[in-house]
Structure 1
């Protein structure tokens, strides 16, 4: 999704290989050895067909590559914790694991994107990295929607939530999500790209402008659905609090307020990360300065850094699994508190 932005930035820089030469300053090459004006020679630079000027490395691309590495490490840790504890097989943890897989692929896609820009630089590498990024980030957003649906159902159908029917519904929902995302990731390789017509490119080459707008509008619809579900979750939580006995009313009010604050923080974080890039993809095209694309893409990728913290590391069961996996023990002051809808 972010491929070849550095090439656009570097096109405004002076080309070292086309610098002017004069009899007093030029140098000639012979058999791979450069002969300098004073008679000295150097073999540090390849000659002939092997000579290729190195493109300047954009600090934005370095930041994206570092972010991708951090995303990969975080989500690999989440997956290790889930696999280490066989007890974490409830629908909630299956969804968290699917989100971790999506974010892990997104991190690997960012690293592959950096390699394809500065090392491979082929059409195949471009399409592969872009397809992986589209599929992974789409899966990440849709898995967040699935987790929100799971939270809503765990409150709305509390009595029938922990049944085989819920597990079947979870697997069916994940199968649909990944099928859709894989199909989206394959679109650039199937010809839905602007490699043959640069004028059709969006802010993220080689994704076309029309495809970028379609993806951005779909994201806005998903975000609206997530927001509506969270509003319903808050209503149910307040209704449950009102049904608690009078002697526990104060505790219930504090717990409900904390839960609503947590859900609001999750929603605001998600919007702050993705909304700038979604809106920019709708209004901008390839003629816009690439600095704006980088400035909106980087926060969107940071959402995959935050996801493990919000949905995994805060969960007491996953915390226990991590302690057992890393240290082989559990701290004496560690206690499993009752799980609520805001825990996962």
Structure 2
């Protein structure tokens, strides 16, 4: 795939068995000079995996965007942020598919820059949207009495404008000249992004993850404090259903943060320590799990939400099951 740095050991030089450091992806030795076991594949299987992930991401998140867009009842700040996350992941999925098409059909540097820029901007918007959702959840608990005010809506729109503006700027960097097409030695593990460019993205992710971790710790403290106060008022015991659901809510927050870290941390750390000389296999092995985060996001943030579940049932079959309509909101939905 042409957006990954070339593997200098991918193909042995003819007649010598030594690697050719000047080779690049898409340029192979003559097929008649290689044994059948060393003939290059027409399509990289890893690229097929990424394209398949992109297709699944696009379809899954398109459903969420459609439901939120068509349902006037889903206009609260929380749903706007979930919609922003779904839109970002939708564009990321489309970016992966378009890059696959451009890489194997167009062979154009301009198309490569545009599709990589789209992927960078989309995944950046996805991560920023996750942070915005975390901030919104924290504020909804900390300022519970004044959360549903016009001030909250204005703050949400401000966050949306800022996160999409910053993401667009990051995505435009490769297109505006911050790339390594003219100087291969400056490439990172993801071509045509430079080492400095991807280092900034990786450090930014680590900072955002640290902020999200701190906010989720504060959310857990607030949830546990509220549960303790309710227990004292009603003389609940530790084994009561309320205590169980509160503990489930805290566990859900841990799963959310753990899933986010498990998907993105390997690629982030690898991007900081590796460069274009590392085998592309390592980049694929860390990049593919990162894309899975966009597959999981709708399940965690959208499909578990009671209001979105109702809207989905209405879209699919024109009715809402009684079990969904009467399900009470619990701390595990936080």
1:331 aligns with 2:321: yes
In the TM superposition, residue 3 of structure 1 has moved relative to its aligned partner by 4.7
- Residue-pair matches, total: 312
In the TM superposition, residue 9 of structure 1 has moved relative to its aligned partner by 8.5
Contact 1:110–1:133, Cα closer than 8 Å, also in 2: yes
Matches of residues 150-299 of structure 1 in structure 2 within 5 Å? 150-244=136-230, 245-248=233-236, 250-299=240-289
Distance verdict in 2 for CA 1:138–1:80, change over 3 Å? same
Contact 1:146–1:173, Cα closer than 8 Å, also in 2: yes
CA distance in 2, matches of 1:73, 1:165: 34
In the TM superposition, residue 55 of structure 1 has moved relative to its aligned partner by 6.3
CA distance in 1, matches of 2:247, 2:82: 24
Contact 1:3–1:204, Cα closer than 8 Å, also in 2: no
Matches of residues 73-152 of structure 1 in structure 2 within 5 Å? 73-152=59-138
CA distance in 2, matches of 1:149, 1:339: 20
The Cα RMSD (Å) is 2.2
Counterpart pick for 1:19 among 32, 38, 49: 32
For 2:19, the equivalent position in structure 1 comes to none
TM-score by length of 1: 0.86
In the TM superposition, residue 116 of structure 1 has moved relative to its aligned partner by 1.6
Distance verdict in 2 for CA 1:151–1:212, change over 3 Å? same
CA distance in 2, matches of 1:148, 1:240: 19
Q: C-alpha offsets along residues 22-52 of structure 1, whole Å, 9 cap, x if unaligned? A: xxxxxxxxxxxxxxxxxxxxxxxxxxxxxxx
Distance verdict in 2 for CA 1:304–1:150, change over 3 Å? same
In the TM superposition, residue 7 of structure 1 has moved relative to its aligned partner by 6.2
Q: Which runs of 5+ in 1 are unaligned?
A: 22-52
CA distance in 2, matches of 1:167, 1:120: 44
In the TM superposition, residue 270 of structure 1 has moved relative to its aligned partner by 0.3
Q: C-alpha offsets along residues 77-108 of structure 1, whole Å, 9 cap, x if unaligned? A: 10111123210110000000000000000000
In the TM superposition, residue 18 of structure 1 has moved relative to its aligned partner by 5.2
In the TM superposition, residue 162 of structure 1 has moved relative to its aligned partner by 0.5
CA distance in 1, matches of 2:191, 2:29: 25
TM-score by length of 2: 0.88
CA distance in 1, matches of 2:127, 2:105: 30
CA distance in 1, matches of 2:9, 2:63: 36
Distance verdict in 2 for CA 1:253–1:262, change over 3 Å? same
CA distance in 2, matches of 1:199, 1:71: 33
Distance verdict in 2 for CA 1:106–1:9, change over 3 Å? farther
Q: Which runs of 5+ in 2 are unaligned?
A: 15-27
Q: Helix, strand or coil: the match of 1:243?
A: helix
In the TM superposition, residue 243 of structure 1 has moved relative to its aligned partner by 1.0
CA distance in 2, matches of 1:182, 1:11: 34
In the TM superposition, residue 248 of structure 1 has moved relative to its aligned partner by 4.4
Distance verdict in 2 for CA 1:136–1:337, change over 3 Å? same
CA distance in 2, matches of 1:95, 1:4: 30
CA distance in 1, matches of 2:136, 2:324: 27
Distance verdict in 2 for CA 1:203–1:322, change over 3 Å? same
CA distance in 2, matches of 1:271, 1:340: 25
Contact 2:50–2:288, Cα closer than 8 Å, also in 1: yes
